Structure 1
Amino acid sequence: MDSLRQRPLRVLAADDSAVMRRVLKTIFDLHADGIGTGLPAMELCGCVRDGMECLEAAARLRPDVLLLDLEMPRLNGIEVLQRLREQGSALPVIMCSAYTEVGARSTLEALHHGAKDYVMKPGQQCDFASALDLLMGQLMPKIAALALPVAASGGSLELVGKRPALPSVLTMPARPVLRPVAASAVMPVRVEVVVIGVSTGGPSALEQMLPGLAKDFPVPVLVVQHMPKLFTGALAERLQRRCAMRVKEGVHGEQLEPGTIWIAPGDAHMEVGLGASADRRRSRAAAITLHYSGPLNHCRPSVDYLFGSAAKLYGAGTLALMMTGMGSDGLEGALAIHRAGGVVLAQDQASSAVWGMPGQVARAGIAAATLPLGELAGELMRRVYVGRRGAMREPALNAVGETAPQAMRREASYGVY
C-alpha cells in the first residue's frame, strides 16, 4: 500500500457536457478537502471533451481509471473502448450512463466491450448540490475498488492500465470447462435451484458464463445483479439472445420452472417462496416474490434476500454462486445456505473485476470451490446433474450446429451485436 501514500489515484474524465465536467471537478475538489473519509486520495488528472482527446490524454497522462461518457463528438464511448482494446490497454473504465432505455442498452454494450463498471448521470431535475451528492456517492468507491487491488498486491499504481484483461465474450472457450472433481466433493443432496449473486463486472461475466448452460438445464436459475430497473430489463433481453436457456426478468407470482433464468428487476427485491396456489405439501412448488422493502446492504435488489429465501425453501437442495462484485451483499444469505446444507461456490480473484462479494464468501470459509469464470458453467452443470437420470448434457447446439458462445463470436464478428 506504499504507492497509495506516495500519490493519489489519477482519474481521467471524458465528457462533452460542460455541466458534467464542472460537477466532476467539484467532486474531486471536495474529496481532496477531506470529504469521503475512508477512501484513498484521488485527483482529476485530466478532463477532456471528446473521444479523440480522450485517447490522446490517456496515452499522455497514464491515468489509473478512465471515466467515460457514452455520447461524445468524433469518437463515442464505445469507439474509445474499442480503440483501447486494439491498443492492448486494460485501463479500468467506468462509464457515465443516462437513466434511459437507450442509455441502458448502450451501457451494456460498453460493458461487453471491456468497461468495468458504470455510474448514473444525475437527472435533469437534480439541482447542483444533489447532483454532487448522487454522483460522488456512486463514483468514488468504484474508483477505489478498481484501482486499489494493484496497490494492495504490491504493484505500482502506474501499472493499473497494464493488467491482463479479463477474458471477453469474443475469446471465451467454445464449451464450458468440465473440471474433474474428487468424489468427496459431490453434493450429497440433489440440487433443486441455482441462485447467483453478482455486481461490479457482472453483465460481462454473465454473458460469458450463462450461455454455457444447456437448454434443458433441469432446475430454475435466479440471478440478482445490482442494476437499476431499465438496465435489468435490457440485460435480460441481451442474455436471451445469447443463451440456450430462456431468460426473463422476474415477475411477481410467476411459478419457477426448469430451463429458465430469472433476473431480479432493478429497484425490487426478489425471493423464492410458495406460490399462492401451491400445494403446501409440495415444498418445491415455488414462485417468485417481489417486494419493495428498503435497500439491504445499500442494494435493491439484494443478494441476501434471494439467498436467504432459497435456504428456507430448498435447504440443502440450494446451489449458490457468488460472482464478481463490490461489497459484501449476499454473505449472510450464503451463510444461511451453508448452514442449511446447501453448497456455495465463488468466482476466483483473478477472473473477477472486483473480488469483494466472492472474496467475502471465500474468506468466511464456506465456499466449496473457488473457480475461474471459464469453469463456472461446467461446475454448475456437473453438480446439478448429480443424482439425475442420464449423463450431464453438453451445451445445446443451434440450427447450424454451433454452441451459443460460438454463435456469439460469429455474430459479433459480423457486427450483429
Structure 2
Amino acid sequence: MAPVLRVLVVDDSAVVRQGVLLLLEHVPDMVVEVASDPLIAQQKMKSQRPDVVLLDLEMPRMDGLTFLRQLMREEAPVPVVVCTGLAGPGSETAVRLLQEGAVEIISKPMLGVGDFLRESRARFVESLRNAARSRPRLVRRTSVAVLERPSSPSLLTVTTDKVVAVGASTGGTEALRQLLVSMPPDCLGLVIVQHMPELFTAAFARRLQQVCRIEVKEAAQGDRVMRGRALIAPGNRHLRVRRSGGHYEVDVLDGARVSGHKPSVDVLFHSVARAAGPNAVGVLLTGMGDDGADGLLAMKRAGAATLAQDEASCVVFGMPRAAIERGAVGEVLPLGEMGDALRRRARSP
C-alpha cells in the first residue's frame, strides 16, 4: 500500500480551500488539511508535519512569501507549491519565488477559481506528488550585491573553442544561481537548459545578470557562445549549439518535446557532443526524471568531460542519478565544488 501523502493547503480563500478538498478527496493516498493563514498553518504543523504545502501569497497576518522564507530556513524544509494569481508566467515575482525555494508555481485566475481547480485536477496531483518527492535545500539569507561588470569589453568579445553545457530542472534555479555567481568574468562560455515555462526564462536571466560577474541572457537565434557569457534556453524552445568557423553559435528551435521537455537537456547535450566533442564539458544538476542522461552519455563518448551534482546537494536526484546509472558521468561533485571544477577545466589545454 502506498504511503499517505499529507497535503497542507494554506489559503485565505474558503472557495480555494473547499475546492482543493473536493479536488483531492478521491485521491486514495492523499490526506488534505487546510489553514486560512500561515499562523494557523504553523500551529497545525506542530502536531502533524505535512509532506507538501500548497501556498497562496496574499493572506492576512502573514503573507505567503514570508511564510515560504520561514519554511526554507528550517533544517528539513517542507516542499512548497505556490498557487497564486500574483505570479504570472515570466513575472519577477514568480522567478523570485523559485529562487526562494518554491518547487513549482501554479498561476490561478482571479475569477472562476472553482472551474480552474476542477479543470486542473491532474496538474495539481502531479505537482504535489513531484514536490513531495523533492528535497528543498535549507536557504540561509545572505546579502547579495549587484555587481559591476568589467568596463573593458575584451573578456566578453573573445570567442572560445570550448563550451560548457548545463542541464537542470527541479531545484535548478537556485543551483544555477550558485554556480553562475561563482564564475569569473573570463569563464568558459556556458549554454544552459533549465526546465521552465515560456516567459519565465527571460526574467530568470535578468535576475542572474544582476548578481553575476558574467553576462547572463536568454538565448536568441545566432547568439555566440563566448567567454564571460551564459545563454539560457527560452521556455518552450529547444537550444542547440553548432560550430561556425572558429566559434560556436546557438540555434533556438521549435519542435516536439524530447524526453518529455521543451527545452530539453538531451537536445542541447547531443548538439554539443556533435559540435564540440572533446572541447566541451557537460554538467547535469538537480532535477526530476531522466532528461539529459542520454545526451550526457553522447558527450562522454565524444570525449567531453562530464560532471553530475551529488545526491546530498540535490533537491531532486533524478536526472543526475539516471545519468550515473547509464555510465554517462565522469565525476560526481557537490554543487559547491562545481565552480572550481569548471575553472580548472578552463585553465587546462
Output the TM-score relative to the length of structure 1.
Answer: 0.72
Inter-partner Cα distance in structure 1 for 2:204 and 2:254 = 21
Instruction: Find the counterpart in structure 1 of residue 31 from structure 2.
Output: 43
Which deviates further from its counterpart, 72-81 or 235-244?
A: 72-81
Is the Cα contact below 8 Å between 1:224 and 1:302 reproduced in 2?
yes
Instruction: Find the counterpart in structure 1 of residue 107 from structure 2.
Output: 121
Where do 1:385-404 residues align within 5 Å? 385-387=347-349
Is the Cα contact below 8 Å between 2:163 and 2:189 reproduced in 1?
yes
Alignment identity in percent? 34
Residue type of the partner of 1:213? M
Inter-partner Cα distance in structure 1 for 2:295 and 2:226 = 22
Pair 1:309–1:86, CA change in 2 (3 A): closer
Query: Residue 50 of structure 2 is aligned with which of 63, 73, 81?
Result: 63
State the 1:134 CA deviation: 3.7
State the 1:322 CA deviation: 0.4
Instruction: Find the counterpart in structure 1 of residue 150 from structure 2.
Output: none
Q: Are 2:229 and 1:244 aligned?
A: no
Which deviates further from its counterpart, 81-90 or 47-56?
A: 81-90
Where do 1:63-102 residues align within 5 Å? 63-85=50-72, 88=75, 90-98=77-85, 100=87
Q: Are 2:11 and 1:25 aligned?
A: no
Secondary structure in 2 aligned to 1:286?
strand
Query: Residue 142 of structure 2 is aligned with which of 163, 167, 170?
Result: 170
Q: Are 2:238 and 1:269 aligned?
A: yes
State the 1:364 CA deviation: 1.4
Inter-partner Cα distance in structure 2 for 1:359 and 1:319 = 18
Instruction: Find the counterpart in structure 1 of residue 222 from structure 2.
Output: 253
Deviations 1:228-256 (A, max 9, x none): 12221111011111111110001112222
Residue type of the partner of 2:222? G
Inter-partner Cα distance in structure 2 for 1:22 and 1:378 = 50
Instruction: Find the counterpart in structure 1 of residue 122 from structure 2.
Output: 136
Query: Residue 314 of structure 1 is aligned with which of 268, 276, 288?
Result: 276
**Structure with the larger RCO, 1 or 2 (CA within 8 Å, 6+ apart):** 1
State the 1:207 CA deviation: 1.5
Residue type of the partner of 1:267? N
Q: Are 2:166 and 1:204 aligned?
A: no
Is the Cα contact below 8 Å between 1:112 and 1:168 reproduced in 2?
no
Pair 1:52–1:127, CA change in 2 (3 A): closer
Consecutive unaligned residues of structure 2, counting only runs of 5 or more, are: 145-159
Consecutive unaligned residues of structure 1, counting only runs of 5 or more, are: 33-40, 150-162, 173-189, 388-417
Residue type of the partner of 1:144? R
Output the TM-score relative to the length of structure 2.
Answer: 0.86
Pair 1:76–1:100, CA change in 2 (3 A): closer
Residue type of the partner of 1:24? V
Runs ≥4 residues deviating over 4 A? 85-89, 97-103, 122-131
Inter-partner Cα distance in structure 2 for 1:164 and 1:126 = 32
Inter-partner Cα distance in structure 2 for 1:167 and 1:87 = 8
Inter-partner Cα distance in structure 1 for 2:271 and 2:109 = 34
Inter-partner Cα distance in structure 2 for 1:319 and 1:126 = 48
Where do 1:245-394 residues align within 5 Å? 245-274=214-243, 278=244, 282=245, 284-387=246-349
State the 1:105 CA deviation: 2.1
Q: How many residues align?
A: 334
Instruction: Find the counterpart in structure 1 of residue 149 from structure 2.
Output: none
Inter-partner Cα distance in structure 2 for 1:122 and 1:76 = 17
Pair 1:372–1:50, CA change in 2 (3 A): same
